Chains A and B, each alone.
Chain A
Amino acid sequence: MTNGEKLPVIWLSLSTCTGCSITVLNSTSPTIKNILVDEVIPGKHLYVRFQHAVMASSGELALGEIRRTVQGKGPFVLVVEGAIATAQDGKFAFMGEKDGKPRTQASWIEEIAPKALAILAQGTCASYGGIAAGAPNPSGAVGVSKFLKMRGINTPVINIPGCPPHPDWFVGTVATVLLGGLPKVSDIDEFGRLKAFYGKTIHENCPRRAYFDEGKFARKFGEPGCLNELGCKGPVTHADCPIRLWNHGTNWCVGSGGLCIGCVEPAFPDLLSPIYVKLTDASIPSVIESRKE
């Protein structure tokens, strides 16, 4: 895109808890106000035409914003939050009506996805199915990439996993696209996410790592020591939380004495549960194997 260009964005909230919207409200540099109102990168302005949590309009008036974007000539970006429900022809998840009948969310993706410049899969549900796809997956929830493959749609997808993702991961992925277009293959890992944010394990950068190396383990919450014995999933989880920190650098899961639960991984949640049970050497290969699917 050229300087001064306005890039329309459609943000669809599907089988989601809306946490992936709320997390973006927590962005600090840029703020959510900057993202919505200002040139988020000098000369480049997002036009967020449809975003369920913040938009003024409702009903048909709101859906009209999707139509004018999809039917318009210019490029647009689709952000998908939440998994796509596919069981029973998608009839576990609706948005709007068609011919007086509820319209499935899956049918919206079928219509919009082929026309989008690119799709950002915001969060673990949109990336890989996530919690909605936890066994026995009652609604047949799948991530965007899998759904597009099922439907033979070839639009490029960039995954921004995390339950929810850190706002910087979303903003950083958007900035990557605005500055240089689609990321190079070498910048993306085998699970479709930017290496810049998901390149190293939690364990590699954890401030409690020294305890692990010395063999000092916490036996209950509130104790110093590595949290491995309590069930921490940091050794198999790829994200920069320990150095980036959450909520404007305030803290992070392990910083509050809690566990890393592996929420950015394709294996989340099934292969990373039970949460409070120590990862066994035997379970680690299966977690890594699942990530290769």
Chain B
Amino acid sequence: MGHIVIDPVTRIEGHLKIEAVVEGGVVKEARSSGMLFRGIETILRGRDPRDAQHYTQRICGVCPTSHSMAATLNLDSAFGIADKIPDNGRIIRNLILGAAHVSDHILHFYHLAALDYVDIGAVAGYEGNDPALLSVKKFALEGDPVPFLPRYKGDYRLSKEQNLAALSHYLQALEMRRKGHEMLAIFGGRIPHNNAIVPGGVSEVPTVDKIASFLWMLNELRDFIDSVYVPDLVMVAQAYKDYCEIGRGCGHLLSYGNYDLDGKVADYGKRKRLLASGTVDSSLRLEPLDTDKITEDVIHSWYQDVPPLQPLEEKAPEPQLDKKGAYSFIKSPRYKGQVYEVGPLARLAATYVSGDPTAKASVDGALSKLKASPKALFSVAGRHLARALCCKIIADSMPAWLLQLKLGEPAYLPYTIPDEAKGMGLVDGARGALAHFIEIKGKKIANYQCVVPSTWNLSPRDKDGHPGPVEQALEGTRVKDEANPIELVRIVRSFDPCIACAVHVVTPKGNTRGKYIVS
């Protein structure tokens, strides 16, 4: 019986440890541990509610835009203006978030995941005249090509030509993800950590020059997504066909949806969104979301056990580092008491099952190229594919939004901060379902809570002993070489973990997230 420890898991955000007990070459038990605690929500208490937009972005510098969206939706709802945001404000928020997700999804595939599939050693045999590849070849031949070597030994299966093309695209994608951020900055000011998304809308009105430059940067990104990103993904999935079955996970998906197409419904869970909300199971049944059914426990987390309390009413329990049976700073969110996976796969599946023609055409088209059924979506390859298709659907939707902006009309609505209020903000961030909750007393933050995508995906076992989604995806996996567990990091990275996000809260065992009335 072998015991594999991968600590740190790199090419993800944050400090993650993966442990696996291997028996007969197969993972019998897996544990996912978040190894960093900062306590951002504790820091937020007593502050001006509006500061939450800025502080919560610092939960994660990879997906700050998602936090700025969840925080402002949360504040809008607490301030009673969720259904009154001017269309310009709603649309510019969508454009800022869309630019972030396009950039982030490209980053994830090429720069965080691809080195597990692409053999960059192939560059040593490059004989063409592309200056970028020649400079990488020169670097490689000098003998110490860090940080690209060392790496796990493994079954790198692409042909020499495919490897060289993918490496060239890795370099091109560095430029593309940067341009995605530049596109975001047109309306967002800067990234990481924008200051333009504010309660009430956004901080600046649209102008024609901004619309034009956004559109043409977007056109370049759309070309890349269509002619490089999506085809590369299909190429890799074809070469690693068994990964359409490896890493299935828990088979339950949960999405809040994202990109509001109409801002006049106060309840975010009932809004018409480009990518749909809801839960989907492995037989592709879609059910509407009921946020009352979200619970959390900390039985295996380094926090003191406390009795169940209503949301936003509990005190922050103390971290307890010597707690028996605990192995993570991440807690265990559950929906209807069951383990749920969140992420691009969840929102794409919800949109696909809802019958959306664009989602249906793109998913069916990609699956037919792979000669696979929708069941294959529940896999390592399926998660990567879903991310790429979400990227394409968002990018393809943004030109029409740009043209919906109304010059000369406001993008911001003034408001007053209530003495006492509660709020909830729901949005699918790049990595999945993201919820922010606030309670305001005396115009200050009395309590602030975030339930974050990677908390769902990387969660430890719950009170019933059910492993979290990544743990389930790892268990049952065959590992060829315990010294080079490349199969396991491929599975973990398909979830695009963000551990700084996952570990930021302290919430007690069995905490039911009761009713939120968004008025």
Bound together: yes
Which residues of A are at the interface with B, using a C-beta cutoff of 8 A? 6, 13, 15-23, 25-26, 28, 31-33, 36-38, 47-65, 85, 88, 91-97, 102, 105, 130-132, 134-139, 141, 163-164, 220-222, 246-248, 250-261, 263, 269, 273-277
12 new A-B pairs (CB below 8 Å) besides A25-B177, A62-B10?
A: A17-B64, A37-B136, A38-B135, A53-B10, A56-B147, A56-B151, A58-B11, A61-B152, A65-B147, A136-B42, A252-B190, A256-B187
A210 CA / B58 CA spacing, docked (Å)? 32
B43 and A134 contact, CB distance less than 8 A: yes
Q: Which 6 residue pairs spanning A and B have beta carbons closest together?
A: A19-B61, A256-B189, A257-B204, A258-B195, A138-B39, A274-B48
On whether A164 and B204 interact (CB within 8 A), knowing A19-B64, A131-B55, the answer reads: no
- CB-nearest residue of chain A to B178: A26
B353 at the interface (CB under 8 A from A): no
A263 to chain B, nearest CB (A): 7
Residue in B39, B184, B195, B329 whose beta carbon sits within 8 Å of that of A261 in the complex? B195
A96 and B8 contact, CB distance less than 8 A: yes
B35 and A247 contact, CB distance less than 8 A: no
B174 and A251 contact, CB distance less than 8 A: no
On whether A32 and B7 interact (CB within 8 A), knowing A57-B152, A256-B204, the answer reads: no
B51 and A273 contact, CB distance less than 8 A: yes
Chain B interface bracket (under 10, 10 to 19, 20 to 34, 35 or more): 35 or more
Compute the total of residue contacts between A and B using a CB distance below 8 Å: 273
B174 and A31 contact, CB distance less than 8 A: yes
A49 CA / B187 CA spacing, docked (Å)? 36
A251 and B61 contact, CB distance less than 8 A: no
Most buried by A among B149, B175, B182: B182
B392 at the interface (CB under 8 A from A): no
B196 at the interface (CB under 8 A from A): yes
A22 CA / B108 CA spacing, docked (Å)? 12
On whether A273 and B47 interact (CB within 8 A), knowing A221-B203, A247-B184, A256-B194, the answer reads: yes
A94 CA / B148 CA spacing, docked (Å)? 24
Question: Could you list some 20 contacts between A and B, CB below 8 A?
Answer: A13-B15, A15-B38, A17-B64, A32-B178, A48-B147, A54-B147, A65-B147, A88-B319, A93-B37, A94-B7, A94-B36, A95-B15, A102-B35, A105-B36, A138-B39, A246-B190, A256-B187, A257-B202, A258-B195, A274-B51
B6 and A55 contact, CB distance less than 8 A: no
B151 to chain A, nearest CB (A): 4
Inter-chain contacts of B7 with A (CB < 8 A): 59, 94-97, 102
Inter-chain contacts of A63 with B (CB < 8 A): 8
Inter-chain contacts of B185 with A (CB < 8 A): 246-247, 250-251, 256
- CB-nearest residue of chain B to A276: B50
Inter-chain contacts of B321 with A (CB < 8 A): 88, 91
A261 and B203 contact, CB distance less than 8 A: no
Residue in A47, A55, A97 whose beta carbon sits within 8 Å of that of B10 in the complex? A55
B84 at the interface (CB under 8 A from A): no
A250 and B182 contact, CB distance less than 8 A: yes
Contact stretch, chosen from B229-237, B247-255, B409-417, B422-430: B409-417
A47 and B146 contact, CB distance less than 8 A: yes
B266 at the interface (CB under 8 A from A): no
B59 at the interface (CB under 8 A from A): yes
On whether A135 and B11 interact (CB within 8 A), knowing A256-B204, A273-B48, the answer reads: no
In B3-39, the 8 Å CB interface with A consists of 5-11, 13-15, 17, 35-39
- CB-nearest residue of chain B to A89: B321
A59 and B51 contact, CB distance less than 8 A: no
A277 CA / B51 CA spacing, docked (Å)? 10
A117 to chain B, nearest CB (A): 17
A256 and B35 contact, CB distance less than 8 A: no
A54 and B198 contact, CB distance less than 8 A: no
Most buried by A among B43, B51, B146, B198: B146
B132 at the interface (CB under 8 A from A): yes
B105 to chain A, nearest CB (A): 14
Residue in B48, B149, B189, B200 whose beta carbon sits within 8 Å of that of A277 in the complex? B48
Residue in A33, A58, A85, A263 whose beta carbon sits within 8 Å of that of B132 in the complex? A33
- CB-nearest residue of chain A to B190: A246
Inter-chain contacts of A269 with B (CB < 8 A): 51, 54-55
- CB-nearest residue of chain A to B45: A136
Q: Interface code B114-125, partner A: CB below 8 Å = 1, 0 otherwise?
A: 010000000000
Inter-chain contacts of A138 with B (CB < 8 A): 37-39, 42-43
